[in-house]
Chain A
Amino acid sequence: MDDAKFIDIEGVEMVFHTRKGVFHALREINLKVGKGEFITLIGHSGCGKSTLLNLIAGLTRPTEGVLLCANREIAGPSPERAVVFQNHSLLPWLTCYENIHLGVERVFGKTETPAQLRERTMRALALVGLTAAESKRPHEISGGMKQRVGIARALAMEPKVLLMDEPFGALDALTRAHLQDELLKIVAATQSTVVMVTHDVDEAVLLSDRIVMLTNGPAATIGEIVDVQLEHPRDRVALAQDARYAEYRSAVLEFLYRKQAHPAKEAA
């Protein structure tokens, strides 16, 4: 298997047929993601970042083009490509443990004993530091904790690819920083391939190996790709003084606010 194109997106076009008419969301998307690589998708709202993520997840099918994962066509959603949803999407009638166990049971239920499944679930909870919240229901825990359970649910399935749709978008700055650090540790430990949608420039530079920047919609496509060559592990405090960090950051800002000024500003 070719590790350099673990996820291979070729000539993808996405057209939605809505009541208001035809909407061309994405055009000519070509992207190769290496195994173990951390990619962020960034762009203004409405540019189709989430659409692209859903395509990789298999939740929607492209109008044209092909998406491959490990040389196999992505024909539908699969636990191999776990999704951390923007709004966490935990099932409110299940406890944190049960929410995670649901996925674990589906993936490993046929080959492992109940005790092993339980251990996997508990390990996932421990990974995000929520062992104490095992038997709590989602409405009893904070937003940051819910998002962590969502991440644990995805990680517990040992996916080949972790897809995250603005996972920290709804959180306060401190919780967000904390979870970003934890995510970096987890990804380093599990060697996961990650594709993450974000609209936070600092988050993109801090976490990614490459930042994929999308042009404004409609018919958005990949504008530029920034190769972030900062060594791991990354420390946010040290990086704040790093000249390269500032350079990457301004490259993204330059793209977002000069080359692709916000559509609302263009109209004004």
Chain B
Amino acid sequence: MNAMLQPESVLPEAVDEAVAAASATALAGTVTSVGAEAETSATPAARRPRQPLAANTAARTRQQVSALALKVVAPLLGAALLVLLWQIITIKNSSFPTPLATWHEAVTLFSDPFYRNSPNDQGIGWNILASLQRVAVGFGLAALVGIPLGFLIGRVPFVGSMVGPMISLLKPVSPLAWLPIGLLVFKSANPAAIWSIFICSIWPMIINTAVGVQRVPQDYMNVARVLNLSEWKVLTKILLPSALPYILTGVRLSIGTAWLVIVAAEMLTGGVGIGFWVWDEWNNLNVPHIIIAIVAIGVVGLLLEQALVALARAFSYEQVAN
């Protein structure tokens, strides 16, 4: 395998889940041990065997309670702490809006997200949709180019060696560095922003697709050779299904980056869009709106990610053990 074509993260959700599970067990461990101590001190150990059923039920209830604590109480507590911290900051710093004031702003803002007063004064809904549209176009074009290119790189070693060094060189470049090139070529802000999205989304898709194709198990390739399948059949019946989980991981990484980049790109290009909206509100010194925009950007990014995780689940086949 080409050393330059290592996947950025082949299956990051597995790692995320592992970390989450580890922290969950750690937390659950503390919760249960605290519970167990409390119980030992309350009831003598000798009495327990006589009431195994009651003890079991109690244990089950305790488990349910600790699961509930983990899933609902802990996140709420985290959010409450953040708001508290925010409140403390506003006491020290009067230019910072209080959580309550921001909440009221948000309610008015989201009660009419789709108004249009002038090209430069539109509802937050329109701004988010405009950004999403740019991401969709740039990302879609990147998928159209990147996935086939990844197949070619993975399948034909010569092509892999040909473009591998170039990809390694260009991948670490910030997509915003490409913005002037976009402006130069397209002579307009909107295509230039889309161009930045295209550039930043294409690398993970090329690399993950190529790695997925290279990692198709030799057994399947031997089947293809014995059946003497045509290149088209190899592509559709073996390479594509086998590499699909990798491709979808690339897609997921890309969309995350694209959503990060669009906000920055729009700050530079202007027009309608959530990034420019943030910049505009900064110029108006409307800090509550900036905070609301940050939360909105986060929520949209989370939804995009979740949608692609669901997509990946739907399309990944079950591994077969011998």
Q: Is A11 an interface residue (CB 8 A)?
A: no
In the complex, A143→B242 CA distance in Å?
21
Q: Is A170 an interface residue (CB 8 A)?
A: yes
Q: Which residues in chain B, 165-182, are within 8 Å of chain A measured between CB atoms?
A: none
Residues of A within 8 A of B228 (CB): 77-79, 106
Q: Is B226 an interface residue (CB 8 A)?
A: yes
Asked if B233 and A170 sit within 8 Å, CB to CB, the answer is: no
Q: Is B94 an interface residue (CB 8 A)?
A: no
Q: How far is the CB of A76 from chain B (nearest CB, A)?
A: 8
Residues of A within 8 A of B318 (CB): 92, 137, 139
Asked if A79 and B222 sit within 8 Å, CB to CB, the answer is: no
Residues of A within 8 A of B319 (CB): 92, 139
Q: How far is the CB of A93 from chain B (nearest CB, A)?
A: 4
Residues of A within 8 A of B242 (CB): 93
In the complex, A79→B228 CA distance in Å?
7
Q: Which residues in chain A, 133-158, are within 8 Å of chain B measured between CB atoms?
A: 137-139, 143, 146, 157
In the complex, A81→B228 CA distance in Å?
11
Q: Which residues in chain B, 20-71, are within 8 Å of chain A measured between CB atoms?
A: none
Contact-residue size bin, chain B (C-beta under 8 Å from the other chain)? 20 to 34
Asked if A79 and B226 sit within 8 Å, CB to CB, the answer is: yes
Q: Is B317 an interface residue (CB 8 A)?
A: yes
Asked if A170 and B238 sit within 8 Å, CB to CB, the answer is: no
Asked if A94 and B226 sit within 8 Å, CB to CB, the answer is: no
Residues of A within 8 A of B322 (CB): 87-88, 143, 170
Q: Is A191 an interface residue (CB 8 A)?
A: no
Residues of B within 8 A of A137 (CB): 317-318
- Given the known A-B contacts A91-B241, A92-B319, A139-B319, are A85 and B227 also in contact in the complex, defined by CB atoms under 8 Å? no
Residues of A within 8 A of B241 (CB): 91, 93
Q: Which residues in chain A, 58-107, are within 8 Å of chain B measured between CB atoms?
A: 59, 76-79, 81-83, 85, 87-94, 102-103, 106
Asked if A57 and B238 sit within 8 Å, CB to CB, the answer is: no
- Given the known A-B contacts A85-B219, A91-B237, A91-B241, are A79 and B320 also in contact in the complex, defined by CB atoms under 8 Å? no
Asked if A83 and B320 sit within 8 Å, CB to CB, the answer is: no
Asked if B229 and A89 sit within 8 Å, CB to CB, the answer is: no
Residues of B within 8 A of A90 (CB): 320
Q: Is B158 an interface residue (CB 8 A)?
A: no
In the complex, A132→B227 CA distance in Å?
25
Binary interface profile of B, 73-84, with partner A (CB < 8 Å = 1, else 0)? 000000000000
Residues of B within 8 A of A78 (CB): 226, 228
Residues of B within 8 A of A92 (CB): 317-320
Q: How far is the CB of B83 from chain A (nearest CB, A)?
A: 47
Q: How far is the CB of A125 from chain B (nearest CB, A)?
A: 17
Which of B220, B233, B317, B321 makes the CB contact (< 8 A) with A89? B220
Q: How far is the CB of B229 from chain A (nearest CB, A)?
A: 6
Q: Is B223 an interface residue (CB 8 A)?
A: yes
Asked if A103 and B320 sit within 8 Å, CB to CB, the answer is: no
Asked if B219 and A87 sit within 8 Å, CB to CB, the answer is: yes
Q: How far is the CB of B61 from chain A (nearest CB, A)?
A: 37
Q: Is B215 an interface residue (CB 8 A)?
A: no
In the complex, A263→B225 CA distance in Å?
34
In the complex, A59→B225 CA distance in Å?
8
In the complex, A146→B322 CA distance in Å?
9
Residues of B within 8 A of A79 (CB): 226-228
Residues of B within 8 A of A93 (CB): 241-242, 317
Given A87-B322, A92-B320, A102-B237, 4 extra CB contacts under 8 A: A59-B225, A77-B228, A82-B226, A106-B228
Q: Return the 7 tightest CB-CB contacts between A and B, nearest first.
A: A93-B241, A139-B318, A89-B219, A77-B225, A93-B317, A92-B320, A77-B226
Residues of chain B whose beta carbon lies under 8 Å from any beta carbon of chain A: 219-220, 222-223, 225-230, 233, 237-238, 241-242, 317-322
11 residue pairs bridging A and B, Cβ less than 8 Å apart:
A59-B222, A77-B222, A77-B226, A82-B226, A87-B219, A88-B322, A89-B219, A91-B241, A102-B237, A139-B319, A143-B322
